[in-house]
Amino acid sequence: MPAPANTDAYLATLPQAQREALQTLRRQILAAAPDAVECISYGMPAVRRHGVLVWFAAAKGHCGFYPGGQVEAFADRLTGYQTSKGAIRFQPEKPLPPELVADIVARRIEQDDAAAAARAARKKR
């Protein structure tokens, strides 16, 4: 199956509960990163500035939020959610708290800015 053209096309293919949960997550992410743009990366909706900040997607039995390696840093706030090294899985009826999403995105923005500054410094040499 080809990758969707954009986030709206991706969400349109999902069952209603997952679509609504991911639309809510999408709004939370974009509110936390108002200067970011949406894209498709690895076949999933993503939000990027200089680089990709976070991804989100639906799977057969859950929704996923992929916060660029921040799972361990927020582990104390993720009790009750299934996690792995790079993923937070949640059920549509038990979404992630908006404050947690905002904090994760804020940390990713800091990391993204630092990486962009480092790239710019290397180019100056």
Contact 116, 36 (CB under 8 A): no
Two tokens, residue 59: 């799977």
Output the pTM of the full model. Answer: 0.94
Going along the chain from its start, the domains and CATH numbers come out as 7-124 (3.90.1150.200)
Distances, alpha carbon 43 to alpha carbons 22, 50, 58, 73, 103, in Å: 15, 19, 11, 26, 25
DSSP codes of every residue in 68-96: SS-TGGGGGG-TTSEE-SS-EEE-TTSPP
The 10s digit of each residue's pLDDT in 82-103 is 999 999 999 999 999 999 999 9
The 10s digit of each residue's pLDDT in 46-82 is 999 999 999 999 999 999 999 999 999 999 999 999 9
- At a CB cut-off of 8 Å and minimum separation 6, what does 72 contact? 85
